[in-house]
Structure 1
Amino acid sequence: MIWLSIIGRRFFFIVGTLYLYRCVTMYVTTLPVPGMHFKCSPKLFGDWEAQSRRVMKMMAGGGLSITGSHSLCGDYLYSGHTVMLTLTYLFIKEYSPRRFWWYHWICWCLSAVGIFCILLAHDHYTIDVVLAYFMTTRLFWWYHTMANQQALKEISTGNLFSRVWWFSPFQYFESNVRGIVPRNYQLPFLLQTMTSARVKYSKLDSRES
């Protein structure tokens, strides 16, 4: 259970940091629409209620153009969907057992096909996808290198990693972690409960008989 909380906060911290960087790149670099199929909604100045409805609609549709929830333009550099596809694969490969190589290959193929479909549908420029992959992989490797080395969790003159702006929250999240998180696999909570209940019932049934 404790490993699940460690992995969860690592995932959400990296996702939040990547999307914070994405806010910066979107603000400083506005690219034109990559495809003629996009319909850009007009800007809403001061209408907070309408802006909130747009946000809820985008969240409900997953930000996908196929669901009709993506009606805003300019948020291209870099690709948020590529971030999620890449990061999900990296976490699956990092924390699942090595004997699940077939599962790793399936996830890699799904991630690669998803990224290819983003480009095929002209939902992003190639630079959006390349930069998203670069940012995601580097931050993931950077964070886990620091998390797996106890010496890199402390501020020192020899630890240049401690100069990053997110080092303080990193120390907070990793304060109770000692060593490397094991690559184990467990059944989901519901399946575990059903399995344990079945075992208890079978034991009780055997006693009565």
Structure 2
Amino acid sequence: MINDTPIVRREIDRMEVSKGSGLRYGSNGTMSTDLHTASSLSSQESARSHPDLLNEFHCLSLDLTTDVNSDDSEDSMLLPPRSSESSYSDMSEVDGYYDRLTWHHRQRCSKGAWSFVKNSILTLSNFKLVSSFVIWFTTYMIMGVFGGSVAYMHFERSDMTIPDPLPDFGYDVIPYWCPSIPHFRHHGNVQSVVLFILYAIIISGIVVRWEPRYHPKSGFVEWGGDGRLILQHLFHLNSLVFITRTSTVGLTGLPQPNPRCVDQQHLPATFGNALMFVMGRGFPPHACGDLIYSGHVGCTLICMAVLHRHGFLKRKSAAVLVWVVAVIGIYFTISCRSHYSVDVVLAFYFGYFLPEWYYNRSDGRVKGLISKWIRRLEVRPNDFMRLNRVDCQFKQADYQEYPSAIIKQPAERRTNDLSELETYSLLQQ
């Protein structure tokens, strides 16, 4: 029941009179939300003095003046003349707020194929996600063409049947041992399998946390909804690894230490052969001679940074287990002679400072154009609000007869399922 106060009785009587006489609300035939009128100001003062009214009668801040231009109307004497043009808050029955809102909800609630594509696929969040993938793929191709292929051309060719590596302290401590994992073809080394395991853990978490779970009353995200953000962080941090490796791996050619690359030492060093060997045999790229710095270790540490950032490793047992797997992959990077020890050490530097650099800008702790660009590109969980989800059971007639619909709605429904107009009214208080 609505509280029996003078302001509420006056507004209800005004609605009933307007409904019976066929008049529309507002001085120009609209229901206006202009907050500078006398009636709306008095409504706001009454709402502040009676907070309980806001839960019972949500449209007190609306200007409900009738379209009567006679001298007997008190509102016609209090209100200044208005323009006949419709404003943004126009709520008239013809091409006004009701019609637009009803059409919007009808489009969102329709079950056609095009409606599904428009509302579920062609969304801003998915566009941002595709943009992040394009960035990742572009940097990946740049690293393969201008990094790995150039490094393949630079490493020294030899007729020897064994590698001739540079002196390395890690090789003196860690003996050569590179077991081949079956069913992985060209990427059967342990460090590659470890990297695939870490990616699989992250992707599993992305799938589980893709859709948000909303609070039943506030409408804000209570859990999940950050699957897109996790995937974007993985894309962006990997892109930074690709770009930084491109700037180092092709500059200086070192003698390759990997016994599996001995056959490549006898082939002529042409850019065409390099592209065919590095990029022409599938994903991920195959490489010999791309040493500084280790991409396997860098991407492994990036995965660990993402796992820690998004709470995958809150339990100590899970953190210890995953870190043991990561350390095994790092160990076999040297054990398999895929990289020199200096490549692994540099990968630790990049694996720590790149996430630090990125997350400082993603969180807004560092200002600048790059920070603004990163924050605009990322899909935040709070971008998904329950107010943006359509209650398809809220019938079209409720919007066409909005004032009466608000009065007739149960208090529990109004509290748990705020509409756009009610939210606007609350914000104005």
- TM-score class normalised by the smaller sequence: 0.5 to 0.7
In the TM superposition, what is the alpha-carbon distance from 1:98 to its structure 2 partner?
A: 5.6
| Equivalent residue number for residue 281 of structure 2 | 57
Whole-angstrom CA distance in 2 between matches of 1:22 and 1:81 = 11
Is the alpha carbon distance of 1:15 and 1:97 closer, same or farther for their aligned partners in structure 2, counting shifts above 3 Å? closer
Q: Which amino acid aligns with 1:146?
A: R
Q: Mean alpha-carbon deviation: is it higher for 132-141 or for 96-105?
A: 96-105
Is the alpha carbon distance of 1:145 and 1:56 closer, same or farther for their aligned partners in structure 2, counting shifts above 3 Å? same
| Equivalent residue number for residue 81 of structure 1 | 296
Please give the per-residue CA displacement for 1:76-110, whole angstroms capped at 9, x wherever unaligned. Answer: 10111101211112211221256422111111111
Q: Is the 8 A contact 2:249 2:290 kept in 1?
A: yes
2:324 to 73, 96, 109: 109
Q: Is the 8 A contact 1:26 1:76 kept in 2?
A: yes
Q: Which amino acid aligns with 1:173?
A: L
Greater radius of gyration (CA): 2
1:28 to 227, 251, 274: 251
Extract unaligned runs of 5+ from structure 1: 64-69, 156-161, 180-209
Whole-angstrom CA distance in 2 between matches of 1:54 and 1:74 = 11
Match status 1:125 vs 2:349: no
CA-based RMSD: 2.7
Please give the per-residue CA displacement for 1:52-99, whole angstroms capped at 9, x wherever unaligned. Answer: 57514152xx45xxxxxx4x4321101111012111122112212564
Name the SS for the 1:28 alignment partner: coil
| Equivalent residue number for residue 226 of structure 2 | 3
2:268 to 17, 42, 54: 42
Q: Is the 8 A contact 1:30 1:77 kept in 2?
A: no
Match status 1:147 vs 2:351: no
In the TM superposition, what is the alpha-carbon distance from 1:32 to its structure 2 partner?
A: 1.3
Is the alpha carbon distance of 1:33 and 1:147 closer, same or farther for their aligned partners in structure 2, counting shifts above 3 Å? same
| Equivalent residue number for residue 15 of structure 1 | 238
Is the alpha carbon distance of 1:27 and 1:172 closer, same or farther for their aligned partners in structure 2, counting shifts above 3 Å? farther
Whole-angstrom CA distance in 2 between matches of 1:74 and 1:106 = 32
Is the alpha carbon distance of 1:23 and 1:37 closer, same or farther for their aligned partners in structure 2, counting shifts above 3 Å? same
Whole-angstrom CA distance in 2 between matches of 1:76 and 1:137 = 19
Q: Is the 8 A contact 1:35 1:122 kept in 2?
A: yes
In the TM superposition, what is the alpha-carbon distance from 1:118 to its structure 2 partner?
A: 0.9
Identity %: 22
Q: How many residues align?
A: 156
Extract unaligned runs of 5+ from structure 2: 1-209, 211-224, 383-429
In the TM superposition, what is the alpha-carbon distance from 1:146 to its structure 2 partner?
A: 2.5
Is the alpha carbon distance of 1:25 and 1:168 closer, same or farther for their aligned partners in structure 2, counting shifts above 3 Å? farther
Q: Is the 8 A contact 1:82 1:129 kept in 2?
A: yes
Name the SS for the 1:57 alignment partner: coil
Is the alpha carbon distance of 1:111 and 1:97 closer, same or farther for their aligned partners in structure 2, counting shifts above 3 Å? closer
Q: Which amino acid aligns with 2:261?
A: F
Whole-angstrom CA distance in 2 between matches of 1:151 and 1:93 = 19
Whole-angstrom CA distance in 2 between matches of 1:178 and 1:112 = 32
Name the SS for the 2:238 alignment partner: helix
Please give the per-residue CA displacement for 1:117-157, whole angstroms capped at 9, x wherever unaligned. Answer: 11111110001011111111111122112222x353x43xx
| Equivalent residue number for residue 172 of structure 1 | 376
In the TM superposition, what is the alpha-carbon distance from 1:38 to its structure 2 partner?
A: 2.1
| Equivalent residue number for residue 204 of structure 1 | none
TM-score in terms of structure 1 length = 0.64
Is the alpha carbon distance of 1:178 and 1:115 closer, same or farther for their aligned partners in structure 2, counting shifts above 3 Å? same
Q: Is the 8 A contact 1:80 1:132 kept in 2?
A: yes
Whole-angstrom CA distance in 2 between matches of 1:29 and 1:120 = 23
Once the two structures are superposed, the pairs formed by residues 161-200 of structure 1 within 5 Å of their partners are 167=371, 169-174=373-378, 177=380
Whole-angstrom CA distance in 2 between matches of 1:73 and 1:54 = 8
